[in-house]
C-alpha cells in the first residue's frame, strides 16, 4: 500500500518537476563520465610521458569529484526540500486520515530511495553510453591513436558514482525526515491558505542601498584594476567581499528601482500586462535576494572557470612543432656569472661521449649586460601602453635583455636546417616568439633607431625573427638579441644552453641521455633537461587537464544554478496559478499571459547572468593580461565557446522551465 | 425595457453515460438593462454553474445565452477573450485581487487588458474610486486593507471598464455584516447611478434583499421568482424568507 502510494506520487511529480529528474540523471551521467577516464587509458597508444600526464589527470579529477559531489549534494538536498515543502497539504492529509508520522516518513523515504535508484540506473546507463564518445575526445586531445575501438567500461567509476550518490540520497532522506518532524499539523493543513506576504521596500531603502551597491562594486573594481586579482593577499579578500556585498545590494535594490523608473513611463507601464509582469518580477527578486546573489556569483564562477581554462589551454594550442625545433634542451646555470665561467663545461661536453646519443648539437652561452634592458628596445608609446595595461609591466621593462653571439646563433640555425645570417659589426638581430613580446618590441625595431652596447651604436639588421631557441611546452622565446662575436666577450653570463637532436627515436635513448648528462657533474652549477617528447606530452596534458576540469566544474556550476532557478520558478508558477486564472477571467488572452510568464522567467534567468557577465568581463580582462605573457591566446574562440556553452545549457534550462510553467498555469 | 441577457432553455450536465448529474435543467429567463438581479439557492442548486456558464468559464451542454443579441455559447478563442474583457465585470467571493499590485493597479489592470488609451486610465480609476469611497487606499496593497475594502476594490475593477453585465458570485460571502451592508449599498448605488446591470448569486437573504428581482433555484431548476416592486427592503426581505421556507429545510439553517 505504502509502496503503491510512493510510486503514484513519484509519477505525478516526475511530470511536474521533470527538470529536477533530468538534472539528477544528468549529474549522475556526468559524474560517471569524468571518472571513467582510467578505463580509456588502456585503449590509447600512449608513450610513458603521456601516460604519466593522464595519471595526473585522473588524480586531479578524483579530488575535484569530491568538491563536485558536495555541490551536487547541496543542489539535490535543496531541490528536494523545495519539493517537500510543496507537498505540505498532502502530508497533512495523510496525518489527518490517521497515518502515524513514522509511516508518513516511510512514504517519503521510499520515494527518495526509488527516485535515487531510478536516476542512478538511468544516469549510469547514459554515462556509460556517452563515455564512449568521451574516449574519442580524449584521444583527440592527447593526439594519439586508439589501439582499437572497443566498449569502455570503468568499474571503479561505477562504484564511485554509486557510493557518492548513495551518500547524497541518504542525506536527502535524513533531511526529509527532519523537515517532516518539524512541521505542525495545523501548518500543513493551512499551507495553501497562507498567502505569502508580499515584500516591497520603501523608496529610501531602495535608493540608499542602490547608491551603496554602486559604491561597493565601484571600489571592488578599483581594487581589481589595481592588481587585487594577482596579489592574492588581504586586498584580494577585500575585493571579493565588497564585490559580493555590492552585488547583493544591487539585487536588493535594482528591481525596485526599475519598477519605480518604469512606473514613471506611463506608456510602457499601462500597456497590456506590463504592470503585472514588473510587479511579479520585483516581488520575486525581493524575496530571493540571497539566492539570486549566490546564483549570480556561481554563474560568474562558471564563466570564469570555462573562459579562464579555455584561454589558458589555448596557450598550449599553438603548433607544437614550432615550439620544439630540436629534440632536447639542456639548461646549465652557473652560480658565478663572470666571463669565461663555462669554458671548462664546454670542454667537458665536447670531449664526452655525447656523439653516442646526439650527433647534431649546438652549444650557446647566454649573456646579459647592465646596459641593455627591455625598455631600450621599446618605443615610448609601447612602454606607456605596457605600464597602463599590464600590472607587472615594470618588471618587464626593467628586465635585462639576453644576448647571444652571431656564431652561436648560426650554429643553432644550422641545427634547425635554416639558412645562416650575416650580422655586421654595427648591427643586431632581435629574436622572439611570444605574441605579446613581439607586439611590444616590433614598433621600436621597425623605427630603426638602434641601441648602444659597449659604447658601440647598433642598428637593427632587419625584422624580428620569430623563432624558438629551446624546447618548451608553449612559446618560450621572450626576446634574445644576437650581436657580432667581438661584442659578447666581456659580458656577464646568464647560463649555457645545449640543444640538439637524438640519433634515433627510441624512448630508451632519452632516459639514457638524461643519465649521461647527470653523470657529467659540472662544477658549481645546476642542470635541467627538457626533451621534445616530454614537452609535447606536458603541453598536450596541461591543455587536456585544463579542458577537462573547465568542463567538469563549468557544467556542475551551470546546471546547479540553472536548476535552482528552474525549481524556484516552477514552484512559483504553481503557487500563483490563481493569479493567472484571475487574469484569464479578466479577459486577458493566453498569448498575452504566456508572454508575461515568458518575460518573468527570462528576466529571472537573465538578470543574474547579466551581472555575472559584467563582473566576468572585467575579471577575465585582468586575468587574460597575465595569460598573454605566457604565449598565444585565442580570445575569440574561447569567448565563442563559453557563450555557446552558456546558451545551450542555461538557455536550455530556461526554455524547459518556461514550457513546464506554461503547462502549470494552463491547468 | 431592453433585454441585456437572455437565457434560453439552458442545460448543463456533468458525468457520463449512466451517471448523469443535471446541474442546470432547462432554465430560461431574461435580464433587463440596468436591472439588479439576484439568484438564490442552496449549495448544489446549480447557481454557481449557471454563473460559470454565463461568464463562459464553463461550456453549456445545450441551450443558448444571448448577451445583447450575441450568442456567447458560440464564441471561441480571441472573441471569447474579447467578450470577457469588454462585456463582463467580475466580483468574486474571495475578491481575487492580485497580491503584487496596489489597489489602484488592480483596478487599472482591467483597463490595460482592455487596451484603454494610457491618458484615460488614471482618470477613470479615480472616478470609480471616488464612487466606491476607496480613494484613500488606492496606493495600498491587498494585504494592507480590510476585506470590505478589498471587495470594494474588486467592484471598482469590475465596473471601471463599463461592462454590459456585472457578475457577482457571493460578493458578501467573506465579509462581516457591516462591510456587507456597505458593499451592497455601493452596488445598489452603481446600479442606480451608472445604470449597471448586475447579476448576483447568493444564498444569503439579507444580501439578496438589495436586488430588484430574485430568482430561486433548486436542483437545477427555477423554483420561483419574486420582484421588489414598490416594497421597502424590510418587506421584500420578509417575502424572501417566506420563499426560502417553502424551498425546504436546506436553507433554514443559513439564515
pLDDT tens profile A549-563? 988 999 899 999 999
In angstroms, what separates the C-alpha of B78 from chain A's closest C-alpha?
Answer: 7
| Cell numbers standing for residue A505 | 627515436
> By CB neighbour count within 10 A (0-12 exposed, 13-18 middle, 19+ buried), where does B157 fall?
buried
Which residue in A61, A560, A77, A63 sits closest to A298, CA to CA?
Answer: A560
pLDDT at residue number A655: 93
Q: What is the DSSP secondary structure assignment for residue B230, as one 8-state letter?
A: T
- What SS3 state is found at A164? helix
Q: Half-sphere exposure (CA, 13 Å, Cβ side) for A291?
A: 20
**Is residue A507 within 8 Å of A18, Cβ to Cβ?**
no
> By CB neighbour count within 10 A (0-12 exposed, 13-18 middle, 19+ buried), where does B186 fall?
buried
CB contact under 8 A, A279 and B100: yes
Mean pLDDT score, A608-620: 90
Query: Is A518 a residue whose pLDDT tops 50?
Result: yes
Q: Give the domain ranges of chain A.
A: 1-194, 328-501
Mean pLDDT score, B130-150: 89
Query: Is A191 a residue whose pLDDT tops 70?
Result: no
> In the beta sheet, which residues pair with residue A289?
none
In a domain, B15, yes or no: yes
Within 254-283 of A, beta carbons closer than 8 Å to B belong to 266-267, 270-276, 279-280, 282-283
Q: Give the lowest-confidence range in A69-83, A216-230, A503-517, A619-633.
A: A619-633
Q: How far apart are CA B88 and CA B65, in angstroms?
A: 14
| Cell numbers standing for residue B89 | 465585470
Q: Which residues lie below 8 Å from residue A417, measured CB to CB, with a gap of 6+?
A: none
A274 to chain B: closest CA residue: B112
**What is the per-residue pLDDT across A349-378, written as a single tens digit (0 to 9) for each?**
888 888 888 888 999 999 998 888 888 888
In a domain, B83, yes or no: yes
Within 94-113 of B, beta carbons closer than 8 Å to A belong to 96-101, 105, 108-113
Instruction: Using an 8 Å CB-CB cutoff, list chain B residues near A276.
Output: 98, 100-101, 109
A265 to chain B: closest CA residue: B118
pLDDT at residue number B190: 83
In angstroms, what separates the C-alpha of B244 from chain A's closest C-alpha?
Answer: 32
| Cell numbers standing for residue A386 | 605596457
Q: Give the lowest-confidence range in A227-236, A470-479, A577-586.
A: A227-236
- Band (pLDDT 50/70/90 cuts) for residue A6 is confident
- Band (pLDDT 50/70/90 cuts) for residue A310 is confident
**Is residue B208 within 8 Å of B239, Cβ to Cβ?**
no
- B118-131 and B177-193 helices cross at what angle (nearest 10)? 120
Which CATH number do you get for residue B46?
A: 3.40.50.300
pLDDT at residue number A197: 56
- Cα-trace Rg, chain B: 18
CA angle (A546, A437, A428) in 5-degree steps: 145
Q: Which of B67, B108, B109 to mutate to test the interface with A (most CBs of A within 10 A)?
A: B109
Query: Is B251 a residue whose pLDDT tops 50?
Result: no
- Please check whether residue B206 touches A, CB under 8 A: no
In a domain, B102, yes or no: no
Q: How far apart are CA B197 and CA A628, in angstroms?
A: 77
pLDDT at residue number A193: 54
Mean pLDDT score, A166-187: 84
Mean pLDDT score, B66-86: 86
Q: How far apart are CA A88 and CA A571, in angstroms?
A: 13
B104 to chain A: closest CA residue: A275
Inter-chain Cβ pairs, chain A and chain B, closer than 8 A: 80
Phi, psi torsion values for B102, nearest 5 degrees: -75, 170
- Band (pLDDT 50/70/90 cuts) for residue A408 is very high
In a domain, B107, yes or no: no
Which residue in B40, B92, B43 sits closest to B213, CA to CA?
Answer: B40
CB contact under 8 A, A588 and B78: no
Query: Is B156 a residue whose pLDDT tops 70?
Result: yes
- Band (pLDDT 50/70/90 cuts) for residue A624 is confident
How far is residue A15 CA from its own chain's centroid?
34
Q: Which residues lie below 8 Å from residue A449, measured CB to CB, with a gap of 6+?
A: none
pLDDT at residue number A124: 95
- What SS3 state is found at A146? strand
Q: Half-sphere exposure (CA, 13 Å, Cβ side) for B247?
A: 28
Q: How far apart are CA A602 and CA A655, in angstroms?
A: 9
- Please check whether residue A588 touches B, CB under 8 A: yes
In which element (H, E) is residue A452 found?
strand A451-453
Q: How far apart are CA B32 and CA B1, in angstroms?
A: 6
CB contact under 8 A, A274 and B112: yes
- What SS3 state is found at B41? coil
According to DSSP, the β-strands at B198-202 and B165-169 are parallel
**What is the per-residue pLDDT across A263-272, written as a single tens digit (0 to 9) for each?**
888 888 888 8
Q: How far apart are CA A422 and CA A403, in angstroms?
A: 16
CB contact under 8 A, B114 and A587: yes
Candidates A196, A200, A275; nearest CB to B109: A275
- Please check whether residue B76 touches A, CB under 8 A: no
- Please check whether residue A139 touches B, CB under 8 A: no
How far is residue A207 CA from its own chain's centroid?
36
**Mean pLDDT score across all residues of chain B:** 87
**What is the per-residue pLDDT across A562-600, written as a single tens digit (0 to 9) for each?**
999 998 888 888 888 888 988 888 888 888 999 999 999
| Cell numbers standing for residue A501 | 637532436
Instruction: Using an 8 Å CB-CB cutoff, list chain A residues near B115.
Output: 272
- The ipTM, to two decimals, is 0.84
- Please check whether residue B86 touches A, CB under 8 A: yes
Q: Which domain holds residue B33?
A: 3-95+164-252
In which element (H, E) is residue B66 found?
strand B62-67
In angstroms, what separates the C-alpha of A573 from chain B's closest C-alpha?
Answer: 14
Q: Which residues lie below 8 Å from residue A390, measured CB to CB, with a gap of 6+?
A: A396, A625, A629
Higher pLDDT, B34 or A187: B34
In which element (H, E) is residue B8 found?
strand B3-16
CB contact under 8 A, A198 and B121: no
Q: How far apart are CA A359 and CA A332, in angstroms?
A: 20
- Please check whether residue B16 touches A, CB under 8 A: no
- Band (pLDDT 50/70/90 cuts) for residue B255 is very low
B82 to chain A: closest CA residue: A587
Instruction: Using an 8 Å CB-CB cutoff, list chain B residues near A282.
Output: 100
- Band (pLDDT 50/70/90 cuts) for residue A523 is low
- Band (pLDDT 50/70/90 cuts) for residue B248 is low
pLDDT at residue number B249: 55
> In the beta sheet, which residues pair with residue A551?
none
| Exposure letters A258-287 (e unless 16+ CB within 10 A, then b) | bbeeeeeeeeebbebbbbbbbbbbbbbbbb
Higher pLDDT, A577 or A17: A577
**CA-CA-CA-CA torsion for B231, B233, B237, B240, nearest 10 degrees?**
50
**What is the per-residue pLDDT across A19-41, written as a single tens digit (0 to 9) for each?**
888 899 999 999 999 998 888 77
In which element (H, E) is residue B12 found?
strand B3-16
**Mean pLDDT score across all residues of chain A:** 85
| Cell numbers standing for residue A69 | 559531489
- What SS3 state is found at A160? helix
Candidates A272, A276, A578; nearest CB to B101: A276
Query: DSSP characters for A571-609?
Result: HHHHHTHHHHHHHHHTT--HHHHHHHHHHHHHHHHHHHH
pLDDT at residue number B153: 93
In angstroms, what separates the C-alpha of A583 from chain B's closest C-alpha?
Answer: 9
- Please check whether residue A667 touches B, CB under 8 A: no
pLDDT at residue number A140: 78
pLDDT at residue number A200: 66
| Cell numbers standing for residue A260 | 519605480
pLDDT at residue number B36: 92
pLDDT at residue number A145: 73
Mean pLDDT score, B24-32: 91
Q: Half-sphere exposure (CA, 13 Å, Cβ side) for A598?
A: 9
Q: Say how many domains are in chain B.
A: 1
Amino acid at each position: 500500500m505504502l509502496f503503491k502510494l510512493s510510486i503514484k506520487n513519484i509519477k505525478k511529480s516526475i511530470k511536474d518537476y521533470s527538470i529536477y529528474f533530468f538534472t539528477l540523471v544528468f549529474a549522475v551521467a556526468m559524474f560517471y563520465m569524468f571518472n571513467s577516464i582510467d578505463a580509456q587509458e588502456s585503449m590509447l597508444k600512449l608513450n610513458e610521458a603521456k601516460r604519466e600526464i593522464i595519471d595526473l589527470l585522473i588524480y586531479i579529477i578524483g579530488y575535484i569529484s569530491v568538491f563536485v559531489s558536495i555541490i551536487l549534494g547541496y543542489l539535490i538536498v535543496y531541490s528536494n526540500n523545495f519539493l517537500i515543502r510543496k507537498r505540505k497539504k498532502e502530508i497533512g492529509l495523510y496525518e489527518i486520515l490517521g497515518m502515524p508520522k513514522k509511516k508518513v516518513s516511510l512514504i517519503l523515504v521510499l520515494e527518495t530511495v526509488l527516485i535515487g535508484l531510478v536516476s542512478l540506473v538511468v544516469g549510469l546507463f547514459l554515462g556509460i553510453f556517452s563515455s564512449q564518445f568521451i574516449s574519442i575526445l580524449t584521444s583527440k586531445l592527447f593526439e594519439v591513436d586508439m589501439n582499437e575501438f572497443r566498449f569502455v567500461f570503468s568499474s571503479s567509476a561505477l562504484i564511485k558514482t554509486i557510493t557518492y550518490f548513495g551518500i547524497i540520497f541518504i542525506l536527502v532522506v535524513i533531511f526529509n525526515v527532519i523537515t517532516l518532524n518539524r512541521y505542525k499539523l495545523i501548518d500543513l493543513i493551512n499551507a495553501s491558505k497562507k498567502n505569502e506576504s508580499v515584500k516591497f521596500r520603501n523608496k529610501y531603502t531602495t535608493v540608499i542601498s542602490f547608491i551603496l551597491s554602486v559604491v561597493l562594486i565601484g571600489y571592488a573594481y578599483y581594487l581589481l584594476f589595481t592588481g587585487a586579482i594577482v596579489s592574492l593577499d588581504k586586498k584580494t579578500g577585500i575585493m571579493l567581499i565588497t564585490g559580493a556585498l555590492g552585488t547583493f545590494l544591487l539585487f536588493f535594490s535594482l528591481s525596485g528601482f526599475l519598477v519605480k523608473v518604469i512606473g514613471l513611463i506611463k506608456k510602457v507601464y499601462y500597456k497590456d500586462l506590463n504592470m503585472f509582469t514588473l510587479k511579479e518580477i520585483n516581488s520575486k527578486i525581493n524575496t530571493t535576494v540571497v539566492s539570486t546573489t549566490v546564483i549570480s556569483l556561481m554563474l560568474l564562477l562558471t564563466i570564469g572557470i570555462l573562459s579562464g581554462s579555455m584561454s589558458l589551454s589555448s596557450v598550449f594550442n599553438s603548433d607544437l612543432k614550432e615550439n620544439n625545433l630540436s629534440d632536447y634542451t639542456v639548461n646549465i646555470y652557473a652560480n658565478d656569472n663572470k666571463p669565461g665561467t663555462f669554458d671548462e663545461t664546454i670542454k667537458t661536453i665536447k670531449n664526452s661521449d655525447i656523439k653516442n646519443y646526439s650527433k647534431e648539437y649546438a652549444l650557446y652561452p647566454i649573456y646579459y649586460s647592465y646596459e641593455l634592458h627591455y625598455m631600450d628596445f621599446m618605443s615610448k608609446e609601447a612602454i606607456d601602453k605596457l605600464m597602463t595595461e599590464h600590472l607587472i609591466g615594470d618588471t618587464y621593462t626593467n628586465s635585462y635583455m639576453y644576448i647571444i653571439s652571431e656564431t652561436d646563433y648560426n650554429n643553432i640555425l644550422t641545427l634547425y636546417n635554416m639558412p645562416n645570417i650575416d650580422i655586421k659589426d654595427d648591427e643586431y638581430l632581435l629574436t622572439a616568439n611570444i605574441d605579446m613580446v613581439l607586439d611590444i618590441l616590433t614598433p621600436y625595431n621597425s623605427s630603426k633607431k638602434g641601441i648602444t652596447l659597449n659604447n658601440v651604436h647598433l642598428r637593427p639588421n632587419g625584422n624580428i625573427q620569430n623563432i624558438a631557441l629551446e624546447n618548451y611546452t608553449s612559446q618560450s622565446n621572450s626576446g634574445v638579441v644576437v650581436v657580432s662575436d667581438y661584442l659578447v666577450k666581456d659580458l656577464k653570463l646568464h647560463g649555457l644552453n645545449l640543444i640538439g637532436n637524438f640519433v634515433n627515436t627510441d624512448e630508451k635513448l632519452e632516459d639514457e641521455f638524461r643519465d649521461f648528462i647527470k653523470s657529467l657533474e659540472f662544477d658549481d652549477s645546476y642542470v635541467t633537461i627538457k626533451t621534445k617528447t616530454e614537452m609535447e606530452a606536458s603541453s598536450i596534458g596541461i591543455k587536456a587537464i585544463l579542458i577537462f576540469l573547465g568542463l567538469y566544474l563549468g557544467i556542475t556550476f551551470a546546471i546547479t544554478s540553472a536548476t535552482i532557478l528552474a525549481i524556484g520558478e516552477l514552484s512559483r508558477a504553481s503557487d500563483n496559478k490563481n493569479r493567472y486564472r484571475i487574469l484569464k477571467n479578466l479577459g486577458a488572452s493566453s498569448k498575452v499571459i504566456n508572454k508575461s510568464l515568458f518575460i518573468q522567467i527570462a528576466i529571472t534567468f537573465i538578470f543574474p547572468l547579466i551581472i555575472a557577465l559584467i563582473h566576468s568581463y572585467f575579471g577575465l580582462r585582468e586575468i587574460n593580461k597575465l595569460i598573454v605573457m605566457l604565449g598565444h591566446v585565442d580570445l575569440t574562440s574561447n569567448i565563442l565557446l563559453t557563450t555557446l556553452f552558456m546558451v545551450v545549457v542555461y538557455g536550455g534550462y530556461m526554455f524547459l522551465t518556461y514550457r513546464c510553467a506554461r503547462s502549470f498555469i494552463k491547468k | 425595457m431592453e433585454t441585456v441577457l437572455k437565457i434560453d432553455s439552458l442545460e448543463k450536465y456533468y458525468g457520463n453515460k449512466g451517471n448523469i448529474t443535471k446541474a442546470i435543467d432547462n432554465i430560461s429567463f431574461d435580464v433587463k438593462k440596468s436591472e439588479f438581479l439576484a439568484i438564490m439557492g442552496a449549495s448544489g442548486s446549480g447557481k454557481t454553474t449557471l454563473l460559470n456558464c454565463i461568464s463562459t468559464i464553463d461550456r453549456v451542454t445545450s441551450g443558448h445565452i444571448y448577451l445583447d443579441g450575441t450568442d456567447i455559447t458560440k464564441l471561441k478563442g480571441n472573441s471569447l477573450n474579447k467578450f470577457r474583457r469588454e462585456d463582463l465585470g467580475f466580483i468574486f467571493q474571495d475578491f481575487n485581487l492580485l497580491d503584487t499590485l496596489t489597489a489602484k493597479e488592480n483596478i487599472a489592470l482591467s483597463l490595460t487588458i482592455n487596451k484603454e488609451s494610457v491618458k484615460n486610465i488614471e482618470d477613470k480609476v479615480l472616478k470609480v474610486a471616488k464612487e466606491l469611497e476607496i480613494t484613500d487606499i488606492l496606493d495600498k496593497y491587498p494585504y494592507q486593507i480590510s476585506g470590505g475594502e478589498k471587495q470594494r476594490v474588486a467592484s471598482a475593477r469590475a465596473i471601471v471598464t463599463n461592462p454590459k453585465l456585472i457578475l457577482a458570485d457571493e460578493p458578501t460571502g467573506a465579509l462581516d455584516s457591516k462591510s456587507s451592508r456597505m458593499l451592497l449599498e455601493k452596488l445598489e448605488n452603481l446600479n442606480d447611478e451608472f445604470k449597471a446591470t448586475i447579476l448576483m448569486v447568493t444564498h444569503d437573504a439579507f444580501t439578496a434583499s438589495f436586488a430588484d428581482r430574485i430568482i430561486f433555484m433548486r436542483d437545477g431548476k427555477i423554483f420561483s421568482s419574486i420582484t421588489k416592486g414598490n416594497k421597502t427592503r424590510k418587506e421584500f426581505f420578509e417575502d424572501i424568507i417566506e420563499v426560502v421556507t417553502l424551498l425546504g429545510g436546506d436553507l433554514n439553517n443559513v439564515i
